[in-house]
A and B are shown apart, each in its own frame.
Chain A
Amino acid sequence: MRLLEYQGKTLFAQAGIPTPPGHVASTVEEAVAIMRAYPAPSVVKAQVLIGGRGKAGGIKFCSNADDVVEPAKAILGMRIANAQNPEGEIAHRIWIEQRVDIAKELYLSIAVDRASKRPIIMASAMGGMDVEEVAEKHPEAIARYRIDPAMGYSSFVGRRVAREAKLPKEIWNQFASLLGKLYEVFFSAGAMLVEINPLAITKDGKLIASDAKVELDDNGLIRRPELASWKTEAETDPLKERAIKAGLGENNYVQLDGDVGIIGNGAGLVMGTLDAVKQAGGNPANFLDIGGGAQAALMREAVNIVTSNPKVKSLFINIFGGITRGDEVAKGLIQALASGGWSKDKLVIRLTGTNEKEGRALLAASGITSVETMNEGARKAVALAK
């Protein structure tokens, strides 16, 4: 789960990391009230997860209650898109914060490093730009330190990173203290990533977090249930919510943009199924993993979820039963078809593994034949979508 800037800054501020004073608004009236209470040169920032909001016009300036009206009107409801995500994201909120006089911009983050199984600290004196670009063009400009979680954070780590990142000597101690607080946020919130870009040095030599990018571990929310309620529009999808309501996990349904609906059991098999559909010249409409041991009711709801996507033209069900039983899958599918949500003419099923005989017999009684292999099923499903 990714947090919006103002949510990330709330976590930062709670841990004692300096952030510019600011407030969130979701209407023009709220924005006016904020500026009336705190009249000062301020920045109005669209609260979206997508990158490139500045270029898209999602960052504007104001200094009092009158001149906040135009920027607030312009940004609230604005659709912000970029090259990777042309559909974009709507700004439902703005964050109004006091302007900071910036002398220099740094970069700082802590992320989960999979290979070392440790948190990795990354810092650079080249802040305010895309860190992947910096890593590519100036790899020497980024200092990295993998921290031993059994040791935890200690100030020497901050001093070492500051020195290796060639940060100005005057801020080393401030930096080491701020990094300790960021490490606290990283662990206590169960984050996969906490990033401050830019981490600003003000004209009077103070460090302040000008931006906040936080990604939480969905599984870690059981330790911080209050953060689960911070989930915003950009992180929710109606069909995914339905899948969760049906008892599936956070990652079991993924919306894609093709027209072949996909249902399978197990993440690896479903990924393989998407690849097979793509290889057969088609485009998957979704990823749906019914998990292990699904009962008929779950299968029925899975069919209903996938086929309620108006883009779906054919449905490919690929089941390799281990714990999942073929007869349960068949029952659920037949129930879904009987309720009229989908036609068996636009359906391909490959049913194999545990109780495949029973399942195939049930399907045959409803006039449905299971294909033998995943590749054959993929080809047929792609042909049906044409």
Chain B
Amino acid sequence: MSIYLDKTSKVIVQGITGREGLYHANRMRAYGTDLVGGVTPGKGGQTVEGFAVFDGVAEARDKTGADVSVIFVPPPFAADAVLEAADAGIRLVICITEGIPVHDMIRALAVIGPKTRVIGPNCPGVITPGAALAGIMPGHVFKPGKVGLISRSGTATYEIVDHLTRNGIGQSTCVGIGGDPIIGTVFVDCLEAFEKDPGTDAVVIVGEIGGSDEEDAADLIERRGFTKPAVAFIGGRSAPKGKRMGHAGAIISGNSGTPESKLAAFARVKVPVADSPSDIPSLVQKALA
């Protein structure tokens, strides 16, 4: 079992004829994802490395039945690609692109209705180990199982998942929600989905400095919107104020986004926070015991 993505998901890649898009389309297909084609405006009708290319998302959806799109479109055009996918009725839109103007995303997300879930931008995507990969994650470190993972960072996820897998703890679904200040799906959305998923017994929350996503997750747990065991990690605890640490959204501005506030929020709802990624497996085992 899983959230958002499973074996039946039909995935297209927007920007499939670009270097990144094609490279990752191949990796997704090799992982076992049902990758049914891709979109590059003006290149419809071609076939690249076995992938059917369409001029637009609506056409791709009509011809392939796609319900998931993974976007590798360059920053100036990426919000347009997100809107096009939503307009075509795509259920799950995963935007990998880093560097999209914040105001582009504010406007796009303001008009996209509840039928479409946007994940990202600036995210590594979603993986349901053993079933499907929609994104850029290195599939070999993941292992099917019953622990969900949600994360604001790609590589911190790989590091933590590697520790889980080496300790025999498999994952139901891992969602990289992205490192930008304005993103389509936040921790709370994922926790609500994991709550309903019978295939998930516990969740690892990989947060970082900046914003209030971790505090909002703690609030959800407090009002019993999420009742399964959870453990957390917070990256950037040693970062100075006012400096943007790699992710556009990883910044402590004034009194907001501090690690202290996030640690306090998780402590209030008794979610243990690991000091190091290597401590996560034992915390998960303890939480499940």
Contacts and interface: CB of A to CB of B under 8 A. Distances in A.
A152 B51 CA distance: 41
Q: Summarize A's interface: helix, strand, loop or mixed.
A: mixed
Contact of A117 (B110, B152, B155, B208): B110
Interface stretch (B6-14, B224-232, B249-257): B249-257
Nearest to A132: B254
Interface in A119-154: 119, 132, 136, 148-150
B43 interface: no
Interface stretch (A25-33, A58-66, A91-99, A212-220): A212-220
Most chain B CB inside 10 Å of its own CB: which residue of A132, A277, A287: A287
Contacts of B107: 149-150
A222 B76 contact: yes
A248 to B, nearest CB: 10
B102 A322 contact: no
A201 interface: no
Interface centre among B98, B101, B275 (most CB of A within 10 A): B101
B244 A269 contact: no
Contacts of B244: 251, 254
Contacts of B56: none
B145 interface: no
A112 interface: yes
A118 B208 contact: no
Contacts of B247: 251, 267-268
Contacts of A275: 235-238, 276
B245 A266 contact: no
Contacts of A252: 246
Contacts of B105: 117
Interface in B241-274: 241-250, 254-255
B152 A268 contact: yes
Contacts of B179: 267-268
Interface string A266-290: 1111111011111100001001010
Residues of A in contact with B, size category: 35 or more
A60 B107 CA distance: 43
Given A219-B100, A275-B237, A322-B137, A269 B110 contact: no
The B contact surface, by secondary structure, is loop
Interface string A359-382: 000000000000001110000000
B235 A268 contact: yes
B136 A112 contact: no
Contacts of B156: 266, 268-269, 271-272
A66 B208 CA distance: 54
Contact of A114 (B98, B138, B181, B209): B181
Interface in B84-114: 98-107, 109-111
B235 A272 contact: yes
Given A150-B110, A274-B236, A274-B239, A114 B212 contact: yes
B47 interface: no
Contact of B103 (A150, A218, A220, A278): A220
Contacts of A269: 153, 155-156, 158-159
A149 B79 CA distance: 15
A292 B136 contact: yes
A49 to B, nearest CB: 10
Given A114-B181, A274-B236, A323 B155 contact: no
A179 to B, nearest CB: 18
B185 to A, nearest CB: 11
Contact of B155 (A268, A274, A279, A354): A268
B33 interface: no
B277 interface: yes
Contacts of A158: none
Contact of A267 (B211, B213, B245, B255): B245
Contacts of A254: 243-246
Residue among A118, A132, A217 with max Cβ neighbours from chain B (10 Å): A217
Contact of A187 (B103, B136, B141): B103
B153 to A, nearest CB: 2
A180 interface: no
A251 B179 CA distance: 12
Interface string B138-155: 100100000000011111
A267 B238 contact: no
Nearest to B277: A272
Nearest to B275: A279
Contacts of A117: 105-106, 109-110, 182
B206 A268 contact: yes
A269 B176 CA distance: 14
Given A268-B154, A287-B245, A374-B278, A320 B159 contact: yes
Contacts of B159: 268-269, 272, 320, 374
B276 A267 contact: no
Interface in B146-173: 151-159, 162
B239 to A, nearest CB: 7
Nearest to B139: A322
Given A132-B254, A249-B98, A271-B235, 19 more contacts: A84-B241, A112-B102, A112-B106, A114-B181, A115-B211, A115-B212, A217-B101, A219-B100, A219-B101, A251-B244, A251-B246, A251-B247, A254-B245, A256-B240, A266-B153, A269-B159, A271-B209, A287-B246, A322-B136
Interface of B: 75-76, 98-107, 109-111, 136-138, 141, 151-159, 162, 179, 181-182, 206, 208-209, 211-213, 216, 233, 235-250, 254-255, 275-278
8 contacts: A84-B241, A114-B249, A117-B105, A223-B101, A267-B247, A268-B153, A268-B247, A374-B278
Shortest 3 CB-CB distances between A and B: which pairs? A268-B153, A266-B155, A267-B246
